[in-house]
Amino acid sequence: MKRIFIILAMALAVISACQQKNGHDVTIVVTNPTDRDIAGVIEGVPLKAVLDSLGVKEGTSIKLTNEMGKLVPTQIFNNGNEDLLLFETNTLANGESSYFVSVRKASDPVLTVPSAVFIKHYPQRKDDLCWENESSIWRAYGPELQATNERAFGYDIWCKNTKEMLCDERMLTALRGWAIRDSLHALGEHHLADSIGHAGSFHEDHGKGMDCYAVGPTLGGGTAALLNDEGGIVFPWAWKTHKILANGPLLGAIRLDYDTTFVAGDTVIEHRTIITQKGSRFNIINVEYEGATRAHDIAVGIAFHGDEDSVRLDKGNKYIAYSDPTDQPGRDPGRVLIGAYVPTLTRTALEQGHLLGIAKYKPGETFTYYMGSGWSKGDCASLSVMANELKRLANEKPQTVRIVVK
């Protein structure tokens, strides 16, 4: 799960041989140093190194197969420095797996796979920006919502109990229902209008999950924020601009840029990149503050809605986790499980209405953390499940990836 950040940091591949060998396959060898099997982990290598090793030019169509000769899903992703060839790996404990790259022929079959991630901007829903992986859907609020003065700062969470991509269906169903509801209200058909609105609402579970998480004027489900000199949270509001950098099938990425913020004598502009991927519950979030001239405390926060027995603050393993009672506790909607792993965490706290994982932000650096969620009626049965996944994330050893020309 941590592997994709290593990819983005470009400390990912040992090019053991990259001389040109026209017509020869290139082998990518993945080594798993852990004592457990690893399945469905997204790895990546520099695309140029692969093409150079094949002895072909940029733009050449290639294919990737596994040791059984089956096609493997791939994705080209630019990390800001170069194009990466992403692929899904399965490697036995303390073992190796090999993948073979070759030039695609016109007669070769084309592998079509459903996307395991989804990202979309909904200007018709007050600029909501939603992203989704196999575990959850998240929502970041946009400038149109801020223009209404509604105070909603952090990430919203929509629960689901299937790996299907549901965000678009859920949002568009609600939008259509609201339009019909408003038309019926205008005609005086208030009872029918309310029934239609209820039937299409994403706040209701129609069999595959719902939005039962409350954000409001909080950091919601794992948003980061600077702290002022008194330790108070300086809440970010809505994003100002956005750019979808990648949208599946294996990985999705978004860049969010924020308006000017004044904090502890600094005037800063926040830049945030969110990466979500197949096979991982956790998003990788990279945060930078343009204009920072001094170090600041920074906190990853999860809104606290009561029940201290449902809180985990683990300084040793550098994570915070919470079992949220939802905004509908009387209707048995289950629990929303939320967790964040902060590699540079120095302390934790339960204060200001939040679980906080606190670290230090230094000018010019990128602050990176991992945030994820699940549903007790879906793929995350309890707080213990979430806590164990966070511990594993904190102690995980990355796989080794190397390119070999054969």
Tell me the pLDDT tens digit for each residue of 376-395: 999 999 999 999 999 999 99
Q: Mark whether 276 and 197 lie in a shared domain.
A: no
Q: Which of 180, 207, 234 is the last residue of a domain?
A: 207
**d(C-alpha 82, C-alpha 53), whole Å:** 16
Q: Mark whether 227 and 346 lie in a shared domain.
A: yes
Q: pLDDT digit string (tens) for 286-319?
A: 999 999 999 999 999 999 998 899 999 999 999 9
399 phi and psi angles, rounded to 5 deg? -70, 160
Q: Mark whether 193 and 269 lie in a shared domain.
A: no
Task: Kindly report the pTM of this predicted structure.
Answer: 0.92
Q: Mark whether 190 and 276 lie in a shared domain.
A: no
Q: Which of 148, 182, 207 is the last residue of a domain?
A: 207
Whether the per-residue pLDDT at 16 is higher than 70: the answer is: no
Q: Mark whether 189 and 235 lie in a shared domain.
A: no
**d(C-alpha 401, C-alpha 68), whole Å:** 19
Classify residue 37: in a domain, yes or no: yes
Classify residue 129: in a domain, yes or no: no
Q: Mark whether 93 and 239 lie in a shared domain.
A: no
Distances (CA, A) of 284 to 12, 304, 327, 342, 362: 16, 22, 26, 10, 19
**d(C-alpha 331, C-alpha 89), whole Å:** 41
Sign of the CA dihedral 311, 312, 313, 319? negative
Domains of the chain: total: 3
Q: pLDDT digit string (tens) for 324-341?
A: 999 987 788 999 999 999
Q: Mark whether 231 and 191 lie in a shared domain.
A: no
Q: Which domain holds residue 293?
A: 221-375
- Give the DSSP H or E segment for 372: strand 367-375
Q: Mark whether 233 and 171 lie in a shared domain.
A: no
**DSSP bridge pairs for 42:** 88
What pLDDT does 24 receive? 55
Classify residue 141: in a domain, yes or no: no
The CATH number of the domain holding residue 77 is 2.60.40.1180
Classify residue 65: in a domain, yes or no: yes
Classify residue 135: in a domain, yes or no: no
Q: Which of 184, 207, 230 is the last residue of a domain?
A: 207
3-state secondary structure (DSSP) of residue 52: helix
Classify residue 304: in a domain, yes or no: yes
Strand-by-strand arrangement of the 266-277 sheet: 241-247, 251-263, 266-277, 282-290, 367-375, 336-341, 319-324, 311-314
Q: Mark whether 191 and 298 lie in a shared domain.
A: no
Q: Mark whether 182 and 249 lie in a shared domain.
A: no
Classify residue 213: in a domain, yes or no: no
Q: Mark whether 185 and 310 lie in a shared domain.
A: no
Q: What's the pLDDT band for 405 if we cut at 50, 70, 90?
A: low
Classify residue 113: in a domain, yes or no: no
